[in-house]
Chains A and B, each alone.
Chain A
Amino acid sequence: MPDQALRITNLRCQIAGKEILKGIDLTVDRGKIHALMGPNGSGKSTLAFAITGHPQYEVTGGSVELDGEDMLALPPDKRARAGLFLSFQYPAAIPGVKVANFLHAARQAERPGDLPPAKFRALLMEKMEQLGIDPSFMGRYLNDGFSGGEKKRVEMLQLAVLAPKYAILDETDSGLDIDALKDVGSSIAALRASEEGRNTGFLIITHYPRILSYVVPDVVHVMIDGRIVKTGGHDLAHRIEREGYDKLREESAVVA
């Protein structure tokens, strides 16, 4: 049985010559929900981009393995086809590319020929209904002129349609109102209830514990200044809600 986990070991990463990740150790198991919390600028998004292979993020040490396969040796598209998914904090707009066509191309790239067009369309309609997305979105250009909330919903739609092995959600909660946040929570729940997605491992990156009321994590990690300073259960999120990050920052400074 191969290692069924997204295993990040002593990962170091720099951008424009500045070291942001200073040795990250973190393992996301299949079917588990991990939350990664931390203040602004602690390196959470950098970790997401380093794992998924953004060309501006230079990995200078450590490893990322997905079910035992070395991710760092692969270009971003092969990492995605291996089962990685990133929900972007700021998804790029692609004018002229319709949502439906893009989703079909992505599903084809990741699972060639697994669904004939009619069945793909049915899947899409089902997922859109679950997410409360109007069918007219299919004909709109991807993220072009979308509101912040619409972009996040379409990220969740992609998550549902692609049903990856591991999903990294980079501040999917930012800029969302309570209703939209509930929809994100229910879309993750729906994916976990589905045959394809019941073993998806999640890494949910967030500043705020608020989203964790809708998506209850199995494990909570706290990142400060490019390091994981604390790992615990759901109660760690509550502690942050009460105390903020300062106390943890002080504790980590003592440890360092």
Chain B
Amino acid sequence: MPSPAPVVAGRDHTAQELYDRVAALGPSPFSIEQRTRALDRFISLRSGREKPGRFWRVDFESVAPEARAIDLSAANVRVENNDPAIFVCDLATAARESPELFARAFGTTGIAATKFGSLAAAFAQCGVFVHVPADRACDDPVVIRYTAPAGAAIFPWSIVLAERGARVTIVERLEGGAGAFLCGATEVVTEERADVHYAALQQVDDGARIIWSRAARPGPEARMSWASAELGGELAASDLSVSIEAPGAEANLTAIFFPRGSQHVDVVSTVEHRAGDATSETIVKTAARERGQARFLGNIRIAPHAQGSDARLRDDALLLSPTAHVDSVPALEIGANVVKAYHGATVGAIDAEQIFYMESRGLERGAAERMIALGFFEPAIERFPTAALRDEIRASLAAKLS
């Protein structure tokens, strides 16, 4: 496993190598100038994921790909889509053949303004554009799979445009071999009354690193659901954000993560209520065992004019080993006065009374603990689309518990 290359402001040797790689990239989906500016931002911006304590093993300020690992041809992108009315293509094709549609979504969520969103933009070299026409309801999920070979660094970019009244479910599968580095972005635009359910299942190798930024902008009375299960990776960081700019919108954010061994997971959720009379519900379930570390930052911001907002945030963490560590940091900024805002959080071990109750029904202690821990995740698992995906997540969590 190569150690992360240090990157500091200015063009030191490592940074110069990254600029050299950018210069060699093509102009799609970002121009070379845009890429260079994005790399500038990556190098100069702070991550917003400062080390909260000395026990923290990961310093996000120094996380960067190795320039020589950046391989434009390495990413394997596969899409399954059974609905001919849904238009799916790579980004260059979308920009060339449907520039007006592409422009309605691409780059409109502000995702490239953050440190790692900028890194994804600087090297974005593969991706998928999904366009769901107005009033089209698709029951079969569109499945997008990004795979990074061992040791390679890849930078996928997914874009979804759901037009007025459209409904679609998208499952993004993220895979990578040992030593892989994945830095991606997903942008979703749901126009008026559209309904997008986007689930990400991250199962990269335990020796890989993955950082993904996800941002959505629901229109009036539109619904946007993010559901993310971060199950693999030596280092996994995920941003889930929704910016509500129109009334009547509904945002549902769900995250599951479970670091074990020496895994480190860092999830940030952000719901911006910029328009009133909209609802959001964030549910996060974290477990950690062995030396696993996790941090959750849950942001809810309600603008002063966003009266009638209803925002809920619930995060629970289960510590399964004395050496595991979970930080849960809710941050509610409420500018309006006619709102409902709820936050609840728990961090703790499995309750001894629950274990005894199950043991008294004949279940062995280990089986009881596994059942309780799986049950702990269940309210979040139930928010993922498709029974098959839910079962897959249950099986994956069960394997991490055994």
Contacts and interface: CB of A to CB of B under 8 A. Distances in A.
B374 A55 contact: no
- The SS class assigned to the A binding surface is mixed
Contacts of B357: 88, 91-92, 94
Contact of B353 (A81, A86, A92): A92
A215 interface: no
Contact of A97 (B353, B365, B378): B378
Interface string B353-380: 1101111111111011001101111110
A55 B359 CA distance: 11
Contacts of A95: 375-376, 378-379
Q: With a 10 A CB-CB cut-off, give which of B357, B365, B368, B377 has the most chain A CB atoms.
A: B357
A94 B354 contact: yes
Contact of B361 (A54, A55, A106, A141): A106
A97 B377 CA distance: 10
Given A95-B379, A96-B379, A86 B372 contact: no
B100 interface: no
Contacts of B353: 92
A108 B378 CA distance: 22
Contacts of B361: 80, 102, 105-106, 109-110, 158, 162
A51 to B, nearest CB: 10
Interface in A138-175: 141, 158, 162
B283 to A, nearest CB: 12
B367 A109 contact: yes
Nearest to A87: B360
A86 B352 contact: no
Nearest to A80: B362
A79 B376 CA distance: 26
- The SS class assigned to the B binding surface is helix
A55 B352 CA distance: 9
Nearest to B352: A55
B375 A96 contact: yes
B14 to A, nearest CB: 46
Given A80-B360, A94-B357, A105 B371 contact: yes
A76 B360 contact: yes
A75 B379 contact: no
A77 interface: yes
B207 to A, nearest CB: 31
A96 B376 contact: yes
Contacts of A141: 375, 378
B351 interface: yes
A94 B318 CA distance: 14
A97 B356 contact: no
A81 B371 contact: no
A97 B379 CA distance: 10
Interface string A94-122: 11110000100110011000000000000
A110 B378 CA distance: 25
Contacts of B372: 94, 97
A92 B362 contact: no
A157 to B, nearest CB: 12
B354 to A, nearest CB: 5
A77 B378 contact: no
A92 B359 contact: no
Contact of B360 (A52, A93, A96): A52
Contacts of A53: 359-360
Contacts of A75: 359, 365
Contacts of B352: 55-56
A76 B378 contact: no
A53 B358 CA distance: 12
Given A92-B354, A102-B371, A76 B359 contact: yes
Given A95-B376, A96-B375, A97-B375, A109 B360 contact: no
Contacts of A88: 357, 360
Contacts of B377: 96
Contacts of B358: 94, 102, 106
Given A94-B354, A94-B358, A96-B379, A109 B371 contact: no
Given A75-B365, A92-B353, A97 B359 contact: no
Nearest to A109: B362
A52 B356 CA distance: 9
Contacts of B364: 77, 109
Interface of A: 52-56, 75-77, 79-81, 84-86, 88, 91-97, 102, 105-106, 109-110, 141, 158, 162
8 contacts: A53-B360, A81-B362, A88-B357, A94-B357, A95-B378, A102-B371, A105-B371, A162-B362
Given A77-B359, A94-B357, A106-B361, 9 more contacts: A76-B359, A92-B354, A94-B372, A96-B378, A97-B371, A97-B374, A102-B371, A105-B367, A106-B358
User: Which 8 interchain pairs have the tightest Cβ spacing?
Assistant: A96-B375, A96-B378, A109-B362, A97-B375, A106-B361, A76-B359, A80-B362, A92-B357
